[in-house]
Amino acid sequence: MPEKFKVSIASDHAGFEMKNKIIEYLESNNFSLIDRGPTNNDSVDYPDFAKKVCTDLADDDATRGILICGSGQGMAMVANKHKGIRAALCVNEEMVELARAHNDANVLTIGARLVDESTAISCVDKFFSTPFEGDRHTKRVNKIG
């Protein structure tokens, strides 16, 4: 991963442990991070945390975001309601690669109950190492809003 990104990351209670593992991994690779919580695995409302990450991207405080909840679905739904956010729920590297290359995804959502730690880290790697292809995809991405 030659280019380094400023990453905003958050989870809900179900994704708390995986969020911490991903943070450890990214820190060990010298990424700049904004941890938007939560600070423990007590029950929380995932929309509150997804909104914080989306605000960081909208305000240019971060260049990419990662959201983790039980299924990844709730975080993706909330994130995709924000202008300029293209959140992709991915469960394997191929999904991540396509989401980046074809859709210019700027937020990766992960289901902590659906993927193991190793798969999550592989998805994170792919998220930061895959460039947007542009060309024919640019027109389509611009239609997203």
- Which residues are designated catalytic? 102
For 21, list phi and psi in degrees, rounded to 5.
-65, -40
Instruction: Spell out the alpha helix ranges (H) of 2-92.
Output: 16-28, 46-58, 73-79
Element (H, E) at 102: helix 93-103
Do the Cβ atoms of 49 and 38 come closer than 8 Å? yes
Distance CA(28)–CA(22), nearest Å, equals 10
Instruction: Give residue 7's Cα distance to chain centre.
Output: 9
Paired strand residues for 111: 69
State how far the Cα of 25 lies from the Cα of 94, in Å rounded to an integer: 20
